[in-house]
Structures are given as C-alpha cells and as structure tokens.
Structure 1
Amino acid sequence: MILVTSATGNVGDYLVRRLHGSGFAVRALTRDPARARVPSGVEVVEGDLDSPASLGEVFDGVTGFFALGTTGDLSGVLRTASAAGVKRVVLVSTFLARTHPDSAIGRGSLEAERLVRESDLEETVLRPWEYASNVVAWAEQVRTEGVVRPLRAGLPSPAVHPADIAALAAHALTEPGHAGEVYPLTGPEELTPRDKVRALGEALGRELGYAERQDRRELERLSEQAPDEATAGLMIPGVCSLESPGVTDTVERITGSPARGFGQWAAENVHLFR
C-alpha cells in the first residue's frame, strides 16, 4: 500500500491516478474526503498532517508515502510513519534549496530535507522548479477579457508539469535505486510569461492579449510581504523573476519519457480557461 498525502493537490492527484493505473494499492489522504475525486478502487481517508498522532491507522500496511515539504508537522508525521513500519518516503522540496538556500523558501525546504534524511526511512527528495500550473491564476482574466495582465515581464523559466513530478515520485516509491537521491526537476524549455500566454492561446484556438500592468504600488506591496528577493521573485503567479537554473534531463533519465512541455499542460487544462 502506498499513501499519497495532499492527494487532491496538483501533484497528488496525478500521482494517485498514475499509481492506481499501474496496479498499485493506493490510499489517498485528504482533510476533506468528500471533495476527493479518485479512481474506483482507491481508498480515501481523512487526516490532518498537523496532528500526526491521529494518523496511526492511516499508515497501517503502508510501505511508502508521498509528502510535500509544506507538510504540517513533518517531523511528527515521519515518526508516526516509522512506528507503523513504513520503509520509504518521497518528499517534494524545491529547486530553491539549491539555487537560493539562504532564502526563506530555501531554508524551509532544506529543513524539510534534513528531517527526511535523518529519519530512519529510505528517502528520495524531488526539487521541482516553477510549476506550469501556476498560470491557473490567470484563468479569470483569460475568460473575461482574453488578456493576461501580469505585474512584470518575468524571465525565461523551464516550468515543470506537475505530472512529471508525480512520475518521478511514482518511480521512487515503487522501485529500488532511489534511496538517498535528490532529483532536480524542470520542464524541457525556458518560456517567458508572454510565451506561456501564446501557448494558452494556441490551446484555446484564439489569440490572447498580453499587457504588463506595471502597477508600482502593487509591486511594492508584494515586495513588502516577501522576506527576501527569492520569495518576491515567485509571488506573481505564472511569472518567474528568478534566473533560470537551466533545463535538466532528470525526467527523461529517470522515467524514460521526455519532460512534458508547457504547451502540453495548456492543452490538457484548457477547460480551466474557457
């Protein structure tokens, strides 16, 4: 049995479906089981990662589990899993743990990585760059105006398809050879926000407008909320203002399939923008 926490999230949803489709027994953990939309045969359980002491039965019979670095009480969750006999954990961290380790996000991610590394479970760490799905924040603008109006231009960024994060997680949870590994993940190409808007337009079958707002006061407000430059560079959805780490070959090297491009994500999720 494999436990997927945050099972209704961007990555968890793909992972549940991939594991189930490959014939593995899957238990999906969520705070609200009524909202879970999972394939028939997947066990859905309610649980709160901020209260690991309540998760003992959730881990019964589980051999490995998937967790996000933003998991509530990760230390307690790891102890509960270990006590239940779980052998393996796959943690989604972030590429900023390598590129911006002194940022708030980088430090928090490195701390989560330390916790899984010092647990007695076999650990695999995934470090994805910007998510392609971040542009869902543009959906209302696209539906109502046909125009995307970001606050700044942003830099070219190899956004990663959440399904590729799930694919790496599935391999690490179900086959040997991944213990102790740290995998950096990106998409196959570097795109600016304007490039992403163009790809969304192609998926929709109509041209979309693109117009930067340059709202200085809003930018200043966001900057004041950010504890550091790296955090500020990620606060505008769909716009990455951090220098690209470059394109990695991790997805293809581990899964045997090329990384999915942003255009594929747009085509698969075009309904969100109509």
Structure 2
Amino acid sequence: MPESNPKVLVIGATGKFARLVMPALARRNVTVRALVRYLAKDVQTQVGATVDVIEGDLRNAESLDRACDGVDGVFYIGPAFAPDEAAMGVSMIEAAERSGVRKFVFSSVIQPTNTRLKNHASKIPVEEALYSSRLQYTILHPANFMQNIALAWPNVLETSTFSEPFPKTARIARVDYRDVADVAAEALTSDRLAFATLELCSEGLYHRGDIAEMMSEALGRHVEALEPSFAEWHRAGICRTTTISCISFQRFTSIMQGLGSAVTVLR
C-alpha cells in the first residue's frame, strides 16, 4: 500500500519539465524534495516555498545518497544530450537502492531503441538498470512534448509562419508534459502503475498544417506552415535552444518520416 504522506525526490526540479511534476505531487499531499545542482539565491522561488531543496550532483554518489535519505520515491529525468547521461541515470538508481527508496519513476523517451538518436540510446542502460533493480519502477515513454512548440511561438507571432525543418506532412505524436506529470504523480503515490512501461501521447496525430490552422484560429489571422531546410531554420534563429540540442534536432529531422509508434492515449 502507498504511504499516506510520502516524500518524493524530484531530479531536475528547476528544469522546464521536472518542475511540472512538483505541482502534480503537491495535489496528492506529497512532501517534495528538490535536487538542484547549485543552491542559487532564487532557487526556492523557482521550486516553491514548501519544497525541501538539497544540493547535489548526479556525478557524485555521496551527494545522491544524501538526497535519497528518507525519501519514499524518486522522479528522474536525465540531463538530455549530456555525454554521460546513461552513467548518471544508473548512478541515481544505485543511490535509490542503497537508500531503501521504494518507488522510482523514470521519464525516458518514446522509442528509446531508436539508437540513431543518441539521446534515445542513452536511455536504454537506465531502463535496463531499473529492470534488474529491486525498485518498484514505472518507466514513461512520452512523445514529442507540446511545450517544445513554445520555442517557435515568438517567430509565429512575428512572421505568421510556423516552421520546423522536416516534412510538414509528417504526422507526429505529441503530449502535454503536464499530463506526463500527472501520470508520474499517480505512479509515485499508488501501486496502480507499478512495474509498467508506458508510451504516452495525446489524442490525434497532427501535421504542421493542422497545427498552423489551430494557431490561425487562436490568433485570428492566417499562419502558414513552412518546411525550411535545417540550415535555413537554424539561420533564422527559430532554434532557440542550446547548440547541442540543435545538433541533436538536426539528426532527428533526418529520420522524421520513419517515426511511428503504438501509443497509449491519455484521456
């Protein structure tokens, strides 16, 4: 049976995705501990006044042991594109086991076996470590995050165009990470999703024209769906992420038409 008032350690709590998990946990009366790399002055404001903040490093086993001490569950999303992402994930699992943590939720990626994408392949050793652990794990395979569309939103407002450097007719499974956060919170507060590996997406597969049409309706003006080359897209400054993320996205665009998966629809 789940604890009545569990404590959960959230990794990446100041990141744009893990931070969405904390409100979902709070709604379930969970005490949240946030692991942060540095105790910056504004970190408490970022994570919330009621959150217990602890400093730690995924490359430092002792700091992970301290972070896991006294917690019932761990939510883990790795630092995408880090060269040692897999090793850090395995270290987090080992620390959780040493500390007697019961539940572990790993936010992985849809189709981790698509090893042509390095940030997908790096999830495989972490999943394998969970499968062979003593932890009550739940592994999440979310589709493309809807929040990523926000990267293009300033350009949409400025130019009335929606551009991504892959075929505009490609239909992509997407998911709102707030829904993923709710699934994670459910897994961390009940046994219903124990030992499950779940592919998550919203209902419907939309191509860029469909999304541009939705944008047009919301803005009250026409938004055109464009299909630039990666070089054109990058040159235009639409890729408002780190250089390494853009490099990975370039690899992603080369295989987009091969992307497809059976999915679990969130309702």
Q: TM-score range by the shorter chain?
A: 0.7 to 0.9
**Residue identity in the other structure for 1:77:** M
Counterpart residue identity of residue 264, structure 2? T
Q: Distance in 2 between matches of 1:48 and 1:31?
A: 6
Asked if the contact 1:149–1:210 (Cα under 8 Å) also holds between the matched residues in 2, the reply is: yes
Q: Does 1:210 align with 2:219?
A: no
1:141 Cα deviation after fit: 1.2
Distance 1:176 1:234 in 2: 35
| Alignment partner of 1:128 out of 139, 142, 145 | 142
- 1:49 is aligned with what amino acid? L
On the 8 A contact 1:156/1:240 being kept in 2, the answer is no
Equivalent position amino acid for 1:137 in 2: L
Tell me if 1:234 matches 2:243: no
Tell me, yes or no, if structure 1 residue 59 matches structure 2 residue 68.
yes
Task: Write out per-residue CA displacement over residues 3-33 of structure 1, whole angstroms, 9 at most, x where no aligned residue.
Answer: 1111123331221011112211111222244
Out of 15, 22, 31, the position equivalent to 1:25 is 31
Please state whether the residue corresponding to 1:66 is helix, strand or coil.
strand
- 1:77 counterpart = 2:92: yes
> What do residues 91-140 of structure 1 show as CA deviations (whole Å, max 9, x unaligned)?
11122125x36754443222210011222211111111111112122133
Supply the distance in 2 between the matched residues of 1:217 and 1:202 (Cα, whole angstroms).
Answer: 27
Is residue 48 of structure 1 aligned with residue 54 of structure 2?
Answer: no
Query: Residues 123-174 of structure 1: CA distance to partner in whole angstroms, max 9, x if unpaired?
Result: 1111111111121221331233232233332411120110111111111111
Matched, 1:248 2:235: no
The answer as to 2:165 corresponding to 1:147 is: no
Instruction: Tell me the equivalent position of 2:176.
Output: 161
Q: 1:217 to 1:144 in 2, by over 3 A?
A: closer
TM-score calculated relative to the size of structure 1: 0.75
Aligned length: 240
Cα-to-partner distance string for 1:182-233 (whole Å, 9 max, x where unaligned): 11111111111222233234334443233322467879xxxxx99xxx9756
SS at structure 2 position matched to 1:207: coil
Greater strand proportion: 2
- Name the % identity: 24
Q: Could you tell me how far apart the structure 2 residues matched to 1:218 and 1:144 are? A: 15
C-alpha RMSD over aligned residues: 3.0
